[in-house]
Structure 1
Amino acid sequence: MRREELSDLVVFLAVAEARSFTRAAALLGASQSAISQIVRRLEAGMGVKLLTRNTRNVAPTEAGEQLLATLRPALSDIDAQLSRLSALREKPSGTVRVTSSRHAAETILWPTVGRLLEAYPELVIEISIDSQLTDIITDRFDAGIRLGEQVAKDMIAVPISPELRMAVVGSPDYLASRGVPATPHDLTGHACINIRMQTRGGLYAWEFGRDGRDLKVRVEGPLILNDVPMILHAAAQGVGLACVLEDQALTLLASGRLVRVLQDWCPPFSGYHLYYPDRRELPPAFRILVDALRYRKP
């Protein structure tokens, strides 16, 4: 069946149930002459008369009644299916796979996912904790989470966090014995806790910026780790200075076990983004996750 034939059947049903070309035209938002022409075309194509017309009434013929008996349940089934599809949009189902670093998963992804799973019980979200720069297409993830500067240019990137800042921290005892660095250059005279980057395998070069000038410092010290909680624990024990994301150190800063230094040299930078390949239509389950994670300024 061609698409126009289905449209013609919908018009015939409207006329037969309204018992009037005028009322059917008003319901369908078309002219009376257009409705009459469609019904005549349908009758000509089927080779039977479907409606009897007089000045007062329009009524289906015997052939028209038989056609109505088929059309009513068929179109009702279509309406019911469309309603079910609408319900799926309101209650998305299916699995969404996301790869993320632990920090982004704990601070941003999980709080949102927890709410979504409660609101949409048919939704399944798989979270893979991995600090590597995962190829989401090759590994068949729906999306990944990275800092804005790490997202490839050919990906759609949705901001999901405010800007972030780094923090250089040390214990009060360490700073009392070794002094407080005034500039990043002073770090060469300090014991620093290095972090091994899981993404590239090298040591992280501490990044600073001030007055529009960026600066990277290769630090040295007695300890190299690849786990931020361990780095913070070591810094609080006085092993040396550490450079971590600001919010990762908040608890220890608030308790006084760590003190922040070089704050004026740590400007904000682009925060976390959810990224995914460009696609024309997002599946309902994935779209609801994107909308829920999207960062909105307070």
Structure 2
Amino acid sequence: MAAGNFSDLVAFIAVARERNFTRAAAQLGISQSALSHTIRSLEARLGVRLLARTTRSVSPTEEGIRLLENVAPRLEEIDNELAALCELRNKPSGLIRITTAEHAANTVLWPRLQGLLQDYPEIRVEINVNYGMTDIVAQRFHAGVRLGDQVEKDMVAVRIGPDLRVAVVGSPDYFARHPRPQSPQDLSKHKCINLRLPTHDSYMVWEFEKEGSPLKAHVEGQWTFNIGSHILRAAVAGCGLAYLPADMAKEELASGKIISVLEDWCQPYPGYHLYYPTSRQSSPAFRLLVECLRYRV
């Protein structure tokens, strides 16, 4: 069928969905007689009956149903792509809402998006810091940030950062009063600073691995926070051991305010990924944001 006859398919889809020639004609902005002629011409060219007509009803035949189910989505994809191309003529703008953990917000989102928003003043970004496993569709976020192994399989995932490494740290004052742990099992003898996760209202488990053997530790202590920067502050103050992304504590480690232990148990793990629903995002502003955040070695 020639490309010029796509209008015949559009006419058929309208009738098949409305199951009424009068409503379909009004939707298409043509007369009912012209619409009937278009459908008869399409059936004649294809050599099959697409619609079963009676004086009271119109319904697609088996062949019509097959055509509707297979062709309609493709025409919608073409329409969406043409609409997206038209949007490119406009200046990127609008609000983009992202849910993320504090560390990713500080180390990835803020450093990179600051320049993007300076170049495109009509783009607005809202960053919601949350340690929970947020349902971005239900909560109406455009995207979220998670570690690579936490992204759901039905989402588009774009890597935005390198692999990370965790660190167990404590202050010199703390280690002057307590021996340094030699293995994760020794943590049961230490005051540890917990992070409370909103998901299931539980503490974060400290995860380790050495020579391919993983180990999880449930720790206890006097202090619990729901923000990583507060945990770091408590560790510097000598309140206990903290379990944090190593680069969050790099300045304090370099200055000697805290000391890293159990380093041979702290292996790299997949870094941050931006995730969002498949085929949901198509605005110029969102595409710019994704490319701005995309991790390049």
**Alignment partners' CA distance in 2, 1:182 and 1:217:** 14
Distance 1:169 1:96, change over 3 A: same
Aligned to 2:238: 238
**Alignment partners' CA distance in 1, 2:205 and 2:184:** 12
**Alignment partners' CA distance in 1, 2:214 and 2:140:** 36
Distance 1:85 1:156, change over 3 A: closer
Aligned to 2:179: 179
The gaps in structure 2 that reach 5 residues or longer are 6-83
Task: Tell me if structure 1 keeps the 8 A contact 2:167–2:245.
Answer: yes
2:264 is the counterpart of 1:264: yes
Question: Taking structure 1 as the reference length, what is the TM-score of the superposition?
Answer: 0.68
**Alignment partners' CA distance in 2, 1:222 and 1:279:** 46
Q: Deviations over 1:270-291 (max 9, x none)?
A: 1111000111772211111111
Please list, as runs of the form range in 1=range in 2, the aligned pairs for 1:1-298 lying within 5 A after superposition.
4=4, 86-88=88-90, 91-279=91-279, 282-297=282-297
Q: Deviations over 1:54-95 (max 9, x none)?
A: xxxxxxxxxxxxxxxxxxxxxxxxxxxx9985543xx42222
**Alignment partners' CA distance in 1, 2:85 and 2:277:** 30
Shift of 1:141: 1.5
Distance 1:85 1:245, change over 3 A: closer
Distance 1:266 1:180, change over 3 A: same
The gaps in structure 1 that reach 5 residues or longer are 6-81
Task: Indicate the larger mover: 150-159 or 218-227.
Answer: 218-227
Shift of 1:126: 2.3
Q: Which runs of 4+ in 1 moved over 3 A?
A: 2-5, 82-87
Distance 1:164 1:287, change over 3 A: same
Question: Taking structure 2 as the reference length, what is the TM-score of the superposition?
Answer: 0.68
**Alignment partners' CA distance in 1, 2:99 and 2:85:** 34
Shift of 1:97: 1.9
Task: Tell me if structure 1 keeps the 8 A contact 2:155–2:276.
Answer: yes
Distance 1:267 1:154, change over 3 A: same
Distance 1:94 1:207, change over 3 A: same
The two structures, once aligned, show a CA RMSD in angstroms of: 2.4
Structure with larger Rg: 1
